[in-house]
């Protein structure tokens, strides 16, 4: 019998009822997260990363959002549970952190109150024990002088500190799975690095599974073991991080990698950016969704949507993988051409 993954997302489809009809923001996504693994989810803004993470925890308004497919956490399908039961899992076995810490911190309560409340909600401990734990959590997230900080209000702290508080709250319930949706995007690089270290540490210490969502492939290279690349609501490539960077198969992935700023790059040269923009959900291309922006696209691509297929241990959704790989391998053999 094969090992059960911590989280299994299978054929997830999330649609919204809008004034102009129904739009499908996530269209048939399948991936697993194992215990102790950090899975990266990347793609430009608007590709459906946040809708995916919100769907996993059923955070969307179910009056307008409709889910199809399956989300299994430790073998339990979250779509089959009542919202109340999902709420019990949320912030307990599965925690989530967002880009904007202030949206999840309450301005009228002290940091200490918010963390101890979170701890007491999820663990059977006294107020005093919760307080001690809260200080521990703050220390663990690298907050200096936690005994002092615990009495302050969110507005008294910098953005980086607020983000750490939010992470401390999210992690104080010792989740099995952490969903981090662009948690460092709003932070400056030094604080970003510290937060990444923190997540990595907790992942190692507690074997916590992590879904790390970002539009920044540079961050993925640092923290993730495996990566899923999303484009317009679909997965276009999945690979181990090393393979993804050394051997990207999908033209979209190649474009993303070429767009990473490098310290040693020639600054006078423009960064390679993928031409065009992500199409709107009301105007989804009929064939391959990336075709309008793809340098390799031909008639077949514009007419027929490719499936996500295995290719040399990776998965890729492209009609021309053979051709592209062959061309590249050929040009490596004769570098003078
Ligand atoms: N509540 C909603 N109603 C209608 N469309 C939505 C809603 N939430 C998100 N979308 C659309 O779903 C698509 C994916 O959004 P999102 O998941 O936030 O992208 P990402 O996080 O990758 O930047 C976008 O086109 C967005 O406009
Ligand atoms: Mg997002």
Average pLDDT of the chain is 89
Across 209-235, average pLDDT: 94
Residue 173: which pLDDT band, with cuts at 50, 70 and 90? Answer: confident
> Is residue 1 scored above 80 in pLDDT?
no
Q: How many CB atoms lie within 10 A of CB 79?
A: 14
Predicted confidence (pLDDT) per residue in 96-113, tens digit: 988 776 677 888 999 999
14 lines ligand 1 (CB under 6 A): no
Report CA(25)–ligand 2 centroid distance (Å). Answer: 12
The residue contributing the CA closest to ligand 1 atom 1 is: 16
Q: How far apart are CA 177 and CA 17, in angstroms?
A: 30
Residue 123: predicted pLDDT: 79
Q: How far apart are CA 300 and CA 297, in angstroms?
A: 8
The residue contributing the CA closest to ligand 1 atom 7 is: 16
Beta carbons within 8 Å of 233's beta carbon, 6+ residues apart: 24, 25, 26, 27, 29, 47, 48, 281, 284, 289
Predicted confidence (pLDDT) per residue in 38-70, tens digit: 999 999 999 999 999 999 999 999 999 999 999
Residue 201: predicted pLDDT: 85
Region of poorest pLDDT, from 5-9, 47-51, 89-93: 89-93
Q: Could you please report the per-residue DSSP string of 294-327?
A: -TT--HHHHHSPPPPEEETTEEE--S-HHHHHHH
Residue 55: predicted pLDDT: 97
Kindly state the tokens that stand for 132.
């001690």
Q: Which of 24, 25, 50 to mutate to test the pocket of ligand 1 (most atoms within 8 A of CB)?
A: 25
Contact 255, 265 (CB under 8 A): no
Q: How do strand 94-97 and strand 177-181 relate by DSSP bridges? A: parallel
Alpha helix ranges (H) inside 207-279? 217-223, 241-246, 251-258
Better pLDDT: 122 or 12:
12
Contact 309, 316 (CB under 8 A): yes
Q: How many CB atoms lie within 10 A of CB 179?
A: 27
Residue 226: predicted pLDDT: 97
Predicted confidence (pLDDT) per residue in 223-268, tens digit: 999 999 999 999 999 999 999 999 999 999 999 998 877 666 555 5
Q: pLDDT > 70: what percent of the chain? A: 94
Kindly state the tokens that stand for 85.
């039961």
Write down all domains in the chain, each with its CATH number in brackets.
Answer: 7-93+175-333 (3.40.50.300), 98-174 (no CATH)
Q: Which of 21, 48, 284 to mutate to test the pocket of ligand 1 (most atoms within 8 A of CB)?
A: 48
Q: Which long-range contacts (CB under 8 A, 24 or more apart) does 268-276 make?
A: 274/44
51 lines ligand 1 (CB under 6 A): yes
The residue contributing the CA closest to ligand 1 atom 4 is: 16
> Is residue 190 scored above 80 in pLDDT?
no
Report CA(310)–ligand 1 centroid distance (Å). Answer: 28
Q: What is the pTM (predicted TM-score) of this model?
A: 0.90
Residues lying with their CB under 5 A of ligand 2, a single-atom ion: 49-50
Contact 172, 119 (CB under 8 A): yes
Kindly state the tokens that stand for 211.
């879904």
> Is residue 337 scored above 50 in pLDDT?
no
Predicted confidence (pLDDT) per residue in 258-310, tens digit: 887 766 655 555 556 788 889 999 999 999 999 999 999 999 999 999 999 99
Q: How far apart are CA 264 and CA 280, in angstroms?
A: 35
> Is residue 164 scored above 90 in pLDDT?
no
Across 151-174, average pLDDT: 87
């Amino acid at each position: 019998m094969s090992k059960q993954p911590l989280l299994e997302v299978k054929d997830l489809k999330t649609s919204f009822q809008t004034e102009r009809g129904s739009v499908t923001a996530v269209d048939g996504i399948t991936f697993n997260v194992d215990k102790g693994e950090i899975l990266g989810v990347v793609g430009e803004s608007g590709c459906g990363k946040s809708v995916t993470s919100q769907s996993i925890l059923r955070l969307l308004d179910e009056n307008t959002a409709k889910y199809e497919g399956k989300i299994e956490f430790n073998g339990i399908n979250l779509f089959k549970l009542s919202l109340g039961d999902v709420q019990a899992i949320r912030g307990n076995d599965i925690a989530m952190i967002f880009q904007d810490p202030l949206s999840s911190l309450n301005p009228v309560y002290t940091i200490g109150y918010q963390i101890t409340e979170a701890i007491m909600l999820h663990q059977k401990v006294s107020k005093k024990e919760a307080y001690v734990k809260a200080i521990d959590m703050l220390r663990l997230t690298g907050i200096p002088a936690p005994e002092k900080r615990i009495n302050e209000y969110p507005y008294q702290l910098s953005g980086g500190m607020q983000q750490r508080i939010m992470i401390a709250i999210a992690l104080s319930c010792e989740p099995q799975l952490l969903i981090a949706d662009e948690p460092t995007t709003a932070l400056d690089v030094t604080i970003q690095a510290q937060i990444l270290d923190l997540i990595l540490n907790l992942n190692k210490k507690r074997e916590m599974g992590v879904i790390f969502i970002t539009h920044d492939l540079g961050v993925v290279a640092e923290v993730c073991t495996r990566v899923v690349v999303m484009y317009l609501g679909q997965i276009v490539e999945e690979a181990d991080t090393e393979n993804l960077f050394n051997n990207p198969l999908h033209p979209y992935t190649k474009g993303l990698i070429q767009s990473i700023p490098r310290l040693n790059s020639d600054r006078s040269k423009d960064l390679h950016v993928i031409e065009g923009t992500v199409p709107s959900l009301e105007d989804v291309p009929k064939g391959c969704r990336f075709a309008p922006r793809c340098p390799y696209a031909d008639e077949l691509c514009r007419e027929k949507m490719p499936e996500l297929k295995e290719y040399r241990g990776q998965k890729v959704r492209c009609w021309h993988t053979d051709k592209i790989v062959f061309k590249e391998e050929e040009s490596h053999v004769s570098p003078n051409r």
